Structure 1
Amino acid sequence: MSNIPETGRTSRVQIRLVVIQVLVFSLLFTLGGRLWYLQIRNGQEYTDEAKNNHVQQVVQPAVRGSILDSRGVPMADNETRLVVSASRTELMKMDDDGKAVMARLADVLDMKPKDVMDKVRLCDSKTPQPCWNGSPFQPIPVTDEATTQQALQIRERAEDFPGITAEPTAVRRYPAPGLANTSQVLGYLSPVTDEEITKAKDTDSPYLRSDQVGRSGLERTYDKQLRGDAGVTRYEVDNLGRVIGRARSDDAQPGANVVTSIDARVQAVAEYELNEAMKAARKEMDRNTGTHYKADSGAVVVMEAKTGRVVAMASQPTYDPNAWVGGISAKDYARLTGKKSNFPLLNRAIQGQAAPGSIFKVVSSTAAVNAGYDFNGNYPCPSSYSVGGQVFQNFESRGYGSITIGKALEVSCDTVYYGIAHKEWMKDGGMKPKHPKDWFYRTAHQFGLGKETGIDLPNEVTGRIPDRQWKKSFWAANKDSWCRQGKKGGTYVQRLAYEGCLEGDRMRAGDSVNYSIGQGDTLVTPIQMATIYSAISNGGTLYNPVVGKAIISADGKQVEEIAPKSHGRLPMNAKTRDQIDEALAAVATRGSAAWRFGGWPQDKIPMHAKTGTAEVYGKQTTSWFASYTRDYTIVMTISQGGTGSGASGPAVRNIYEAMYGLDKKGNQDLKKALMPEPRKTLPKIEPDGQIEAPAIRPYEPPKNPEEPQVLAGPPARRD
């Protein structure tokens, strides 16, 4: 038993409690003081520092979907390239901001050090291209054309290249299967802009700074479906850019594939034949100028007549869309957009406007019937027609006596249409109209001219129907200039300006007469005329032309078909349609196109055609050829190319022969036929993304082709 008194033991316990209490209170006081120091005295300083700790995103781009032809052949896809990238964050940590590393990298890549440094600098309002407009925390591509040897040097000498990576990456590719370039239809990609990011911020498909977006063609129309969803990894970083944690990571989702109605084999034929027709036209002499035809541009459209689906679409001059991959150089950009380039980026099938010439007469024939003229009535076809002292010549000044409207279509007699149009102008009140019916202008609008067809390609133009309203608007915009320039009895241009100043807002007799044969101020596009001739073929339905056929998910499980849509019907009854159809068949068998279609199997594959040669002030004539069978419509035009049957006719026939497997004698070999009938099925895409696509060989035109048979007797007018 302890000898320590009870009172002593109690005192000792109390002392210990007091000490503990003092220690506790001291600690609390110290903690409180520290909290006061941090939160009150220096609170703003630490708040500011904390604000500098934020989240940065590193984007893993989604694999862009492919654009396929109707059989599954890729026309735009992706290929794996060795991409060398630089981490700007790592470079900025170095004493020299990474200049030494960039110099070593430039040496390995056979580039100039300045070019490499320019690649990794950040874009702003004062920094010209090239520069990086994405996140500074994103690996910045320096080149996507590194060789295996260059990549190995970088990876094996990692200590010499801190912050530099060389990795295989998916890059856009336009393989031109079978030499089918299809450039204006496909379009191209380029980096997203700040303005586009801002506009899309609150939409269901916002852009990331690393995104490449479609700039034209199908790449633009179906950009949202093709783009997919990028993968994003979010890192917490401090104010020095050092990673202090990983917040969240979302995997990239590949884009969908767009299946088109284009057949790459037919596309290759169309491109080849258009180019050859232009080269052949340049060898021909223009009798009006005494020089060779310039044939400086052209376009061709091949379309399914019963659906409006585009099988091929070519435009000349053309370009290689691969020039845009990885960023276009200043030299290439100037070559594609300069004045001497003749603007190859234009898709002249939907953006090229020209007077249609005689292929417009199917519109005028319908207008005449709707105005009360009998299709099979007799109308004079003299060699010329006079209006107000001005003489309008028939082509080659040839007369055919009294003929029907059908025969006028067949031989392309201008003066029949001059006479009917002049009568209608007088019925409408001449220069002082009160309630004009304007059958010729109204009918053209009902055919869909003067507005877009609705094709699923961007930047389609409307063409022009020079009706009374257009005349007034055009006069108001040009009156002052005309009045300054005009001179009575002066040059041709001065006389036109003088007349325009006085009465440019009025519909004159000469305007109506000239308009009736597709001349004057009328402008159309090849896609508009292909839509019209397809409608005549299918019984009267005007379809919106369409290139996209289906959107199929990357794994092939989800299929969204793009159904053809109609925007109206031709303003003609079945009887008139059949009469025009019969007249257009006669054009190919005994009319203005017959000399180009000798030996054609008309009994098996009925051919219908219309030639056109449009006059353009200050230029050589524009060649037009519009045609259709029961399955397809083909329209070709060549600017400054000469006559319709002379320049465009042979090329159109060659395209048909390749599609149907025909030789010049009309014999058909289905084994050689590229597309004897429209394709209805879709290509199959496997769950792993593989596409069942057949091999395709470049188009080889027949060697030493036999000349087409020329019908006996004198050739009809070669419009």
Structure 2
Amino acid sequence: MLMAVYCLFFLILLARLWYIQVLMERHYKAAAQENRVRLVLLKATRGTIYDRNGSVLAFNLPSYGLSFVPASLKGRYSSVEDFLKELSGELKIPYDELCRNYKRRFYSTYWPVLVIDGLPLTQVIDIREWLMPQGVLNLEVDTRRFYPWGEIFSHVIGYTAEISEAELKLYSGKGYRGGDHIGKTGLEKLYEDYLRGVDGYQEIEVDALGRRVSVIKEVLPKNGFNLLLNIDKHLQKVAYDALGDRRGAVILMNPKNGAVLALVSKPSYDPNYFVWGVSPSEWKSFISDPLRPMYNRAVQAELPPGSLFKTLVALASLSEKIVSPKQQFYCSGFMKVGNRVFKCWKEGGHGFVNLYRAIAHSCNVYFYNLGIQLGVRKIAEYAENCGFGRKTGIDLPSESEGFVPTPEWKEKYFKEFWYPGDTVNLSIGQGFLLVTPIQMATFVSAIANGGMLYQPMLAKALTDGDGNVIKEFSPKSCGKLPFSKSIIEEVKKGMRLAVTEGTAKLLSDSFIRAAGKTGSAQNPSGQEYAWFMGFAPYDNPEIAIVVLIEEGGAGGSAAVPVAKKVLEFFFGRYAYGSNKGKGG
């Protein structure tokens, strides 16, 4: 009986040994290999962002952190939690924070997990003396973005910050890991795939104490491309300063190719504040700020254009042969449409005005007449063909579309007919019509160049670390204005007259031969929106400009002085020969 028991025990032991040696051989062999091999991440360097003249707008600063490979804790700590508790005591960092970082950034048992970053180098050295000899902690030298121009470029460049859990899921196929930094807004977001580069890694052999023995395999990182912009940092700063403390936007474009030379939105924010991370309460305070500093007014603000829209109505009326440039209408200061009275901004009226003087002095009654004759459908058709009601395609995220109203839309959403008074309001850029500053910049650029609509572009080229051009962003035409060059020239004459004797006369004492149009759009919650759009030199335009000031009042007194400062700097700095001498 006893022999039978021994035999049974021996058979069971043999079976167990056979299971361990045969069936589990691969498992234990792989585990031993994995315990001997460590993966070391080799981070790619994010590309630098430059202005058109090679000035640095965004670059990288060294960032120090600590990581550990979870598998390396075996035999040293009973659990990851015990290790993090000990680390918490040494770093004087809350245990909960280390746990959150670990859970958010965990990728694999055999892959380094960054548990803390942003440490001063002196502190890192002290910690290395404590734990690194044990082969547990690794020093991670990474980079973090720095923006030397701060608020001035925030709405153009944007910022980077740590990738969120939602973004990890969204970009699951792009090789991101918890702890990576990613472009959140602006050009940093839009050109993320070009800027980020591709990380490399090393497979290293370590001894029993976790010390490096040899490199088994190495895949070098591929650094990100550098991004060269059309933006001029000097123009950007002058435009930013010219706005002062007012809310608004300034855009400068090259009308010959759509290159954006400056794009400012105020109020703004310091992007450096977000790079190292903000708490939920801090983030909430930013997005709930009534001044909306995170809101890019240059491409997101949807507002009535006011009298800027009169140029489109003038172009459409000439194209439809409703009016000739010298044909006059009488402005008595008001016009009666049905049982409603629509006033001109000038009390007592402008008297007899032709198209040139109507544009120059922004006569409402003149454009009431044109609008009634054109009709809402023609106005809407021309507006859409000029690029309104759709995105311009500028290389920034979150661009708004604006809105061009139609009778069908009003009936659907308001259960009302389109009244003649609605057309009267539309003819002077009021009512339901909404545009963005970047749409107005694209439109006035097309007027300046004779009719070509260009997609506004901030990016000029991508280069590698040696300065070789990898990709050029060539001008992109997105259609033409639906008007002949001769018709556009007639409207340009009116815009020139606006500077020499009309509502933009504050520009007349400058050495710049500019042309433009002012606007003041009704604001139901405050003072009017002040607008100006223009170009210079008049005879051979090199620059187009749009200025918006929220609750600024009259465009001629609020927006024109801003445009004057910027244009005088531009032509003073670059000294275009066609602008020398006085002449308004």
Distance 2:337 2:570 in 1: 46
Residues 137-166 of structure 1 show CA distances to partners (whole Å, capped at 9, x for unaligned) of: 3241523141x4323433444579973455
Distance 2:576 2:39 in 1: 51
Mean CA deviation greater in 377-386 or 444-453: 377-386
Residues 188-242 of structure 1 show CA distances to partners (whole Å, capped at 9, x for unaligned) of: 223335555555555xx543445322122111111111011101235799xxx99
Could you say what secondary structure the match of 2:103 adopts?
Answer: coil
User: For 1:98, which of 59, 74, 83 is the aligned residue?
Assistant: 83
Could you say what secondary structure the match of 2:432 adopts?
Answer: coil
Q: Which residue of 2 aligns with 1:530?
A: 441
User: For 2:161, which of 190, 199, 204 is the aligned residue?
Assistant: 190
Q: Which residue of 1 aligns with 2:61?
A: 79
Cα pair 1:236 1:245 within 8 Å, conserved: yes
Distance 2:32 2:314 in 1: 75
Q: Residue 115 of structure 1: CA displacement? A: 6.0
Letter in 1 for 2:127: I
Structure 2's unaligned 5+ residue stretches are: 1-11
Cα pair 1:588 1:608 within 8 Å, conserved: yes
User: For 1:252, which of 203, 217, 221 is the aligned residue?
Assistant: 221
Cα pair 1:356 1:523 within 8 Å, conserved: yes
Matched, 1:451 2:390: yes
CA RMSD across the alignment? 3.3
Q: Which residue of 2 aligns with 1:153?
A: 126
Matched, 1:66 2:48: yes
Q: Which residue of 1 aligns with 2:337?
A: 387
Q: Which residue of 2 aligns with 1:597?
A: 507
Distance 1:659 1:311 in 2: 10
User: For 1:474, which of 402, 413, 416 is the aligned residue?
Assistant: 413
TM-score (structure 1 length as normaliser): 0.71
Q: Residue 467 of structure 1: CA displacement? A: 1.8
Alignment of 1:159-198 (within 5 A): 163-166=136-139, 168-176=141-149, 181-193=152-164, 196-197=167-168
Structure 1's unaligned 5+ residue stretches are: 1-32, 124-131, 279-296, 426-436, 476-500, 662-672, 679-708, 712-719
Matched, 1:439 2:378: yes
Distance 2:204 2:291 in 1: 49
Q: Which residue of 2 aligns with 1:122?
A: 103
Alignment of 1:259-270 (within 5 A): 259-270=228-239
Q: Which residue of 1 aligns with 2:546?
A: 635
Distance 1:44 1:472 in 2: 75
Number of residues paired by the alignment? 555
Distance 1:264 1:538 in 2: 25
Cα pair 1:453 1:527 within 8 Å, conserved: yes
Q: Which residue of 2 aligns with 1:498?
A: none
Distance 1:418 1:57 in 2: 73
Distance 1:473 1:644 in 2: 34
Q: Residue 515 of structure 1: CA displacement? A: 0.2
Could you say what secondary structure the match of 2:152 adopts?
Answer: coil
Could you say what secondary structure the match of 2:373 adopts?
Answer: helix
Q: Residue 341 of structure 1: CA displacement? A: 4.2
Q: Residue 561 of structure 1: CA displacement? A: 1.2
Alignment of 1:158-557 (within 5 A): 158=131, 163-166=136-139, 168-176=141-149, 181-193=152-164, 196-197=167-168, 200=171, 205-234=174-203, 248-276=217-245, 278=246, 297-338=247-288, 340-372=289-321, 373-425=323-375, 438-475=377-414, 501=415, 504=416, 506-557=417-468
TM-score (structure 2 length as normaliser): 0.86
With over 3 angstroms needed to count, the CA separation of the structure-2 counterparts of 1:533 and 1:336, relative to structure 1, is same
Distance 1:38 1:162 in 2: 33
With over 3 angstroms needed to count, the CA separation of the structure-2 counterparts of 1:60 and 1:160, relative to structure 1, is closer
Distance 1:367 1:275 in 2: 36
Distance 1:152 1:363 in 2: 66
Q: Which residue of 2 aligns with 1:616?
A: 523
Q: Residue 471 of structure 1: CA displacement? A: 2.4
Q: Residue 659 of structure 1: CA displacement? A: 1.5
Distance 2:19 2:94 in 1: 51
Distance 2:527 2:521 in 1: 9
With over 3 angstroms needed to count, the CA separation of the structure-2 counterparts of 1:453 and 1:447, relative to structure 1, is same
Q: Which residue of 2 aligns with 1:144?
A: 118
Q: Residue 51 of structure 1: CA displacement? A: 7.5
Q: Which residue of 1 aligns with 2:8?
A: none
Letter in 1 for 2:560: G
Could you say what secondary structure the match of 1:518 adopts?
Answer: coil
Mean CA deviation greater in 522-531 or 326-335: 326-335
Mean CA deviation greater in 576-585 or 57-66: 57-66
Cα pair 1:190 1:324 within 8 Å, conserved: yes
Q: Residue 676 of structure 1: CA displacement? A: 4.2
Q: Residue 521 of structure 1: CA displacement? A: 0.5
With over 3 angstroms needed to count, the CA separation of the structure-2 counterparts of 1:556 and 1:159, relative to structure 1, is closer
Could you say what secondary structure the match of 2:327 adopts?
Answer: coil
Residues 642-661 of structure 1 show CA distances to partners (whole Å, capped at 9, x for unaligned) of: 11122221111111111122
With over 3 angstroms needed to count, the CA separation of the structure-2 counterparts of 1:113 and 1:197, relative to structure 1, is closer
Could you say what secondary structure the match of 2:405 adopts?
Answer: coil
**Percent same amino acid among aligned pairs?**
30
